[in-house]
């Protein structure tokens, strides 16, 4: 690990119920004890959680907690997105996770996706360097990419458009990240790219989500997780050890920080961060 403290961030999704929102504040307060650089809040397919995301982000920001909304054009026009960005700036938000976003279910071929590099360029055009712009990166290749080199080229396009840094899809093979970074550097990408980390909480949910988003669960790991059956406590304990070791390897090999997909839960993210010794000093 380098002498400087690695960047630390935690990701939430916007809850749909008042109870979920209240729980999220509790989880936020617990994870905030680690003094993360920022929290981020996701944005549903097609902008379906736009108002919910905005409410959480502005609430956190008004409490003095650095929070970055995820943002894509979705089905919105430029005027709507511009107004949303102006509202974020007025609220003191200065970081955006700029994404292409997913196609909402049930939408036909007339739906037009706006790519992340276009969103980055749009934000830079209207706000200059005010926002720190994060973009998504895929060490194991975006599931819709034609080739590895194409995916690297698209990522470089996001940075060329003005992105400051990247956050990766989660992975469990550190070599995937190291090889990816080598290829990024060879392509002229010198901005920092932060590994996305997925704690292991539930085997069925993890496999379902991984199969959808293209994140690989190595065969040996699938078999190991299957072996726990309904023993959730043992699975979570195994997952904490495994993911802690993954994070250690990444940081020891100069990963600039970690971004945790918390699933709106304190544990096991808090235990992993504690295992890594990423506890702020007074």
pLDDT digits (tens, 9 = 90+) for 106-121: 544 444 568 999 999 9
CATH 3.20.20.220 matches 7-275: yes
Catalytic residue from among 11, 134, 140, 216: 11
| Cis bond before residue 278 (omega within 30° of 0) | no
Question: Across-strand partners of 8?
Answer: 258
> pTM, whole model, 2 decimals?
0.94
Give pLDDT tens digits for 176-223. Answer: 999 999 999 999 999 999 999 999 999 999 999 999 898 999 999 999
Q: Distance (Å, rounded) from C-alpha 156 to C-alpha 164?
A: 11
Question: DSSP letter string over 74-116?
Answer: TT--HHHHHHHHHHHHHTT--EEEE---PPPTT--TT--PPPH
What's the pLDDT at 110? 46
Q: Helix 78-90 crosses helix 50-62 at what angle (to 10 degrees)? A: 20
11 is catalytic: yes
Is the CB of residue 106 less than 8 Å from the CB of residue 77?
Answer: no
Q: What H or E segment, with its residue span, contains residue 259?
A: strand 257-261
| CB within 8 Å of 239: residues ≥ 6 apart | 199, 200, 201, 225, 268
Domain spans of the chain? 7-275
The per-residue pLDDT for 47 is: 59
- pLDDT given for residue 165 in this prediction: 98
The single residue listed with the structure tokens 């956190």 is 60
Neighbours of 179 (CB within 10 A): 14
Instruction: List Cα–Cα distances, 251 to 131, 247, 260, in angstroms.
Output: 27, 6, 14
pLDDT band at 48; cut points 50, 70, 90: low
Q: Are 79 and 25 in contact (CB under 8 A)?
A: no
Which stretch of DSSP H or E encloses residue 158? helix 148-160
Residue pair 52/16 in contact by the 8 Å Cβ criterion:
yes
- How far is C-alpha 111 from the chain's CA centre? 25
pLDDT in tens, 127-151: 999 999 999 999 999 988 999 999 9
Write down the residue that tokens 């996770």 correspond to: 97
């Amino acid at each position: 690990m380098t002498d400087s403290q690695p960047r630390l961030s935690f990701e939430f999704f916007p809850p749909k119920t008042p109870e979920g929102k209240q729980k999220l504040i509790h989880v936020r307060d617990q994870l905030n004890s680690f003094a993360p650089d920022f929290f981020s809040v996701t944005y549903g397919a097609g902008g379906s959680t736009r108002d919910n995301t905005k409410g959480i982000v502005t609430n956190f920001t008004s409490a003095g907690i650095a929070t970055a909304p995820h943002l894509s054009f979705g089905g919105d026009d430029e005027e709507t997105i511009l107004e949303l960005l102006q509202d974020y700036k007025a609220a003191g938000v200065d970081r955006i996770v700029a994404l292409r976003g997913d196609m909402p279910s049930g939408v036909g071929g007339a739906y037009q996706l706006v790519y992340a590099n276009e969103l980055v360029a749009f934000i830079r055009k209207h706000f200059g360097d005010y926002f720190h712009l994060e973009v998504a990166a895929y060490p194991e290749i975006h599931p819709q990419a034609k080739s590895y080199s194409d995916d690297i080229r698209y990522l470089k396009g996001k940075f060329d458009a003005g992105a400051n840094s990247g956050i990766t899809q989660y992975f469990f093979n550190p070599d995937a990240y190291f090889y990816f970074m080598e290829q990024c550097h060879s392509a002229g990408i010198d901005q920092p790219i932060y590994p996305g980390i997925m704690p292991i909480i539930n085997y069925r949910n993890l496999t379902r989500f991984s199969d959808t988003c293209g994140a690989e669960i190595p065969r040996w790991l699938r078999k190991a997780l299957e072996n726990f059956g309904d023993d959730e406590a043992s699975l979570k304990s195994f997952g904490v050890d495994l993911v802690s070791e993954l994070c250690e390897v990444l940081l020891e090999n100069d990963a600039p920080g970690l971004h945790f997909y918390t699933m709106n839960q304190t544990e096991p993210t808090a235990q992993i961060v504690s295992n890594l010794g990423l506890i702020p000093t007074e």
